[in-house]
Amino acid sequence: MRFTDGYWQLRPGVEMLRPRDVDAVEAGTDTLTVYAPTAPITRRGDTLNRPVVTVTFDAPADDVIGVRIEHHQGRRDPGPHFTVHREPGVVKVSTPETPGDGPAEFTSGGLTARVATDGPWQVDFLADGEVLTSSSARSIGIATTPEGDFVHEQLALGVGEHVYGLGERFGAFVKNGQSVDIWNEDGGTASEQAYKNVPFYLTNRGYGVFVAHPEHVSFEVGSEVVSRTQFSVPGQSLQYYVIHGATPADVLRRYTALTGRPADVPAWSFGLWLSTSFTTDYDEATVTSFIDGMAERDIPLSVFHFDCFWMRQFHWCDFVWDPATFPDPEGMLARLHERGLKVCVWINPYIAQRSHLFQEGKEKGYLVTTPGGDVWQWDKWQAGMALVDFTNPEATAWYQEKLRVLLDQGVDCFKTDFGERIPTDVVWHDGSDPQRMHNYYAYLYNKAVFELLEQERGRGEAVVFARSATAGTQSFPVHWGGDCESTFVSMAESLRGGLSLSLSGFGYWSHDIGGFEGTPDPAVFKRWTAFGLLSSHSRLHGSDSYRVPWAFDDEAVDVLRRFTRLKMSLMPYLGQATAEVDSAGTPVMRPMILEFPHDPAASTVDTQYMLGGDLLVAPVFSAEGRVSYYLPEGEWTRLLPALAADGAPAAGDATVRGSRWIVEEHGFDSLPLLARPGSVIPVGARDDRPDYAWAEGVTLHCFELPDGFERDVVVPGGTGEPGRFTVRRTGDTLRVSSADAPAAWGVEVAGRRARAEGPGEVVVTVAG
């Protein structure tokens, strides 16, 4: 929210209180509290009629400092609140004998908040003696406005500092100059609205900021004041956390430790998902024809998804298969399972008036009500639509029980759609603040479904396909990008949304291949296919038209087959990337800034990404195949077309020198896919499914390994045992050894190959 009219004046009707001098500081065991009047106190009389701003510092974890700014502390706080996982480390607090004799300091790990106790308000956040950001004389504001009371903070931006994150945002990847409202909306992918709003940002200066408020948070990123990032919330208090990290990856690691790491997802979920699409006509015969068509064309398929009309129209959600279309759902699901497929069905948290669950939910008090005690309803989306109240534990259990019936029938996972159209003129069972529940509802909704899947399918087997989210919802993967148009422009905006989401703590992300709205022309579909199969999760889905490749042209079939099989062969590598999601919160799809934080040219790139830490992917956003991408320093190796053709990467003249922008043209069967110099990429022995024993028969592809290189490489097990290898290069000799290789394995380097049967060592001569 903007409070000023230019730099000097406030907007009409706005009054502002700001801390001026520090009157007192109090050191607790692990806190520092600062009392700052809104005018200098030079005599006793100055304390009369004088507001005081209270600022408290604490440390939920090493290298994280919490800051709480308060005016009046007597207001009721009904919640909800984001979960903050506290693991306090070493805290040091120092204060001067009296204010004015020097700064007060609060240190958590390597991060220090230094508070000036004389002169104007000034708090510097330092790491290794360097100021990362600051709160200065005009930064904190307690505002009274025609819209109500607000508290804001402004943290300094340095020269060349870029801001990223704030959830899944489809506009410019770098957020400088933008005003961003953290308020979930069903707005598609072509506007400033977003389905997944996260009040967290990070910068390329060594820190991130988490504003721990689930309600409406406004960010003015170098916009209201171009040298500062402002954030504000309604009310009389503001809680935020400054998170230090030497690199953006370090910041993400600490942020996800604070708010929750993404759960493990099953190996089968990385395969190709095919949907009925939304408003298309379909029955079991239609579904079978799609699955037969994929099998006949030798395209591996892992998951089939039934979208909304698996239920009767006007009944969403009653979780009952439409008997006219699917008279034998248990039999159908068993037949799909016999073909090796998993099954996903569409759900949302709304109960239409025609659903038999409406009256049941009304009688039991499981639906959200108005202040007058009526069930809240409207006719958007579904006639007489009501909303399940997930703040009521009994309502949550009731909803889960309805879904459990579907799991017993044979459904494997759910597409948890919607969750953004949450009213604020309602009363919640637990008394939660309706403003705070608007965004937070997405967390409760997805949590309820994900935890049911964990209970019924086991940890590591639960997965949802979710659209709405906020801070912490990353713990319930996977998330997809929502309703995009079927154009190259929308393909690019979808990627920007995914990159921003990945810098907001989300480890897995997907999108509708070919776009959702409208029908893509064959060129868009084929280019989007390559992008989609080189994403963490891959789904064919549309609105009013089917997304089977033969609906476009024969080449689309070839492209889908090629990239699906390529992804399946890369499962040992993708398994390594998922281990980093679990251990460090590092996303599978990574903006260039995350892997190359010290390369200025990488800091603004938003049309390409790293898939894991070692593969660069540059989607092609044009029909003719022209693509421009940035290649960081080093000698990179192209993986296409050879890797997709026979498992062998191109060598020799297929290397490309980096530290430059490159312009190329690619056919529909290709795109820039390059291996990082100094990388070891494990490629699987199978390309027909994602859930196999990844280490059995694996080939370690070694790229531009320098003399003296030594690394331990762990290939995750998938459905088998993991393989552990040691890779060493000395001069022109590459030695790879394994004491517990589960089966035959091999090494490829510079066009030379060697194989081993079980544990042992292989030696390859590397070309000079």
Q: Which residues form the catalytic set? A: 417, 420, 483
Contact (CB, 8 A) for 507 and 586: yes
d(CA 352, CA 378): 9
196-207 burial string, b = 16+ CB within 10 Å, else e?
A: bbbbbbbbbbbb
d(CA 456, CA 404): 8
3-state secondary structure of 124: strand
Tokens of 390: 């997930």
Q: What is the DSSP string of 298-359?
A: T----EEEE-GGGBPTT--S---B-TTT-S-HHHHHHHHHHTT-EEEEEE-SEE-TTSHHHH
d(CA 488, CA 668): 14
Tokens of 383: 């006639």
Contact (CB, 8 A) for 39 and 120: no
Within 10 A of 218 (CB to CB), how many other CB atoms are there? 22
How many CA within 13 A on the CB side of residue 253?
A: 14
d(CA 102, CA 680): 53
Contact (CB, 8 A) for 421 and 325: no
Question: Looking at the DSSP assignment, which residues form a beta bridge with residue 15?
Answer: 144
d(CA 473, CA 443): 5
Radius of gyration of the chain (CA): 27
Question: Left, alpha or beta for 515 (phi > 0: left; psi -120 to 50: alpha)?
Answer: left
Four-point Cα dihedral 241, 242, 248, 253, nearest 10: -50
Q: What is the DSSP string of 176-227?
A: TTEEEEE-----TTSSS--SBEEEEEEETTSEEEEE--SS-EEEEESSSSTT
Q: What are phi and psi of 578, to 5 degrees?
A: -70, -30
Q: What is the DSSP string of 535-547?
A: SSSEEE--SSS--
Per DSSP, 378 falls in state B
Q: What are phi and psi of 664, to 5 degrees?
A: -140, 170
Among 512, 550, 546, which Cα is nearest to 529's?
A: 512
Contact (CB, 8 A) for 142 and 154: no
Question: Looking at the DSSP assignment, which residues form a beta bridge with residue 659?
Answer: none
d(CA 441, CA 315): 22
d(CA 459, CA 449): 13
d(CA 686, CA 695): 10
Alpha helices in 506-570 (DSSP H): 522-533, 554-569
Task: Give CA angle at 417 (414, 419), nearest 5°.
Answer: 125
Within 10 A of 712 (CB to CB), how many other CB atoms are there? 8
Contact (CB, 8 A) for 752 and 766: yes
d(CA 168, CA 198): 8
